[in-house]
């Protein structure tokens, strides 16, 4: 599991390409946001080209 930063309007997470064998291309991300009680507030799937 990885963690990023977010506020009320946006979020960010930095991926180190060396952690993925320096392989470039299209990656599928799944982003889950949780509140302080552990409830899942949202799930977003996105494509990222590295």
Residue 50 has pLDDT above 70, yes or no: yes
Report the distance separating Cα 50 and Cα 26, nearest Å. 6
User: Which residues are registered as beta bridge partners of 47?
Assistant: 28
- Other CB atoms within 10 A of residue 33 CB: 13
pLDDT score, position 26: 92
pLDDT score, position 1: 62
Query: Could you read off the pLDDT of 6-42 as tens digits, one per residue?
Result: 777 777 888 888 888 999 999 888 888 888 898 987 7
- pTM for the structure as a whole: 0.52
pLDDT score, position 17: 85
């Amino acid at each position: 599991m990885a963690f990023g930063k977010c506020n009320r309007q946006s979020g960010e997470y930095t991926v180190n390409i060396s952690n993925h064998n320096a392989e470039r291309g299209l990656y599928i991300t799944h982003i889950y946001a949780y509140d302080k009680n552990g409830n899942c507030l949202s799930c977003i799937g996105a494509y990222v080209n590295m």
